């Protein structure tokens, strides 16, 4: 009997990798929906370039606030998982940044470049370390998102004034789109991994494994 129990435990460990532990498979739809929302916000941010006769900074700041709120809400939805801070930190960092830009639109281009440089660098480094540390399903997409965010942060640090406000729109848009794609790919990876449930047959004392997928 001990041998059977040991074999079952071994099978369960092989079926569940460490990357499965932070999330339940039922969370896949939440992750996919979060990704879609972030992609939409990213597209809207890039489309602000078309507003040449209007200062797009105010619109961009509120997109940053909304994306931060959405990701923070998602973080609390998965608060019992190891991915809680993975979503919470970018969320709570984006909200004050967006509000700061919205309430001080005349601070100057160089000032905002340095503020955005700090934001992109902190978020990029955090997500990069978390991606390698947690190694969630589809984690290479998180690494790609983090690396691109860091590169954009480095460009902001140069404080090249000739870039103009259009670069803010592109940087925020690309970052949101990649973060959204990363979340969608993670959700789809979770959906493909069916949970394993083990039950014992009283008559034969053998373990039967039933795999069920929950949408």
* Rounded Cα gap, residues 213 and 181, in angstroms: 23
* Rounded Cα gap, residues 83 and 78, in angstroms: 7
Compare 71 and 77 and report the one with higher pLDDT.
Answer: 71
* Rounded Cα gap, residues 69 and 67, in angstroms: 5
pLDDT tens, position by position, 4-27: 444 444 444 434 444 444 445 557
Which range has highest mean pLDDT (36-45, 48-57, 75-84, 202-211)?
Answer: 36-45
Compare 163 and 78 and report the one with higher pLDDT.
Answer: 163
- CB atoms near residue 179 (< 10 Å): 28
DSSP 8-state secondary structure symbol assigned to residue 183: H
Domain ranges of the chain: 26-211
Tell me what the mean pLDDT of segment 125-131 comes to: 86
- Phi, psi angles (nearest 5°) of residue 169: -60, -45
**200 has which bridge partners?**
207
Residue 135, Ramachandran bin (φ over 0: left; ψ between -120 and 50: alpha; else beta): left
Tell me what the mean pLDDT of segment 140-156 comes to: 91
pLDDT at residue number 150: 93
Tell me what the mean pLDDT of segment 152-167 comes to: 84
Q: Which residues contact 6 (CB under 8 A, 6 or more apart)?
A: none
């Amino acid at each position: 009997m001990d041998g059977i129990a040991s074999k079952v435990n071994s099978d369960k460990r092989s079926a569940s990798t460490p990357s499965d532990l932070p999330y339940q498979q039922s969370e896949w739809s939440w992750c996919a929906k979060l990704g879609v929302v972030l992609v939409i916000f990213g597209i809207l941010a890039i489309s602000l370039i078309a507003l040449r006769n209007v200062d797009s900074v105010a619109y961009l700041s509120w997109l940053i606030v909304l994306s931060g709120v959405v990701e923070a809400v998602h973080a609390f939805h998965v608060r019992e998982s190891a991915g809680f801070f993975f979503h919470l930190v970018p969320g709570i960092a984006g909200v004050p940044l967006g509000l700061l830009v919205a309430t001080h639109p005349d601070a100057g281009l160089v000032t905002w470049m340095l503020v955005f440089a700090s934001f992109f660098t902190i978020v990029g480094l955090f997500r990069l370390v978390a991606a390698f540390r947690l190694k969630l399903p589809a984690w290479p997409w998180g690494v790609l998102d983090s690396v691109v965010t860091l590169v954009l942060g480095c460009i902001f640090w140069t404080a090249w004034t000739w870039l103009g406000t259009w670069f803010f729109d592109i940087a925020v848009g690309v970052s949101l789109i990649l973060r959204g794609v990363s979340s969608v790919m993670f959700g789809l990876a979770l959906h493909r991994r069916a949970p394993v449930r083990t039950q014992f047959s009283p008559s034969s004392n053998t373990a039967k494994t039933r795999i069920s997928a929950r949408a």
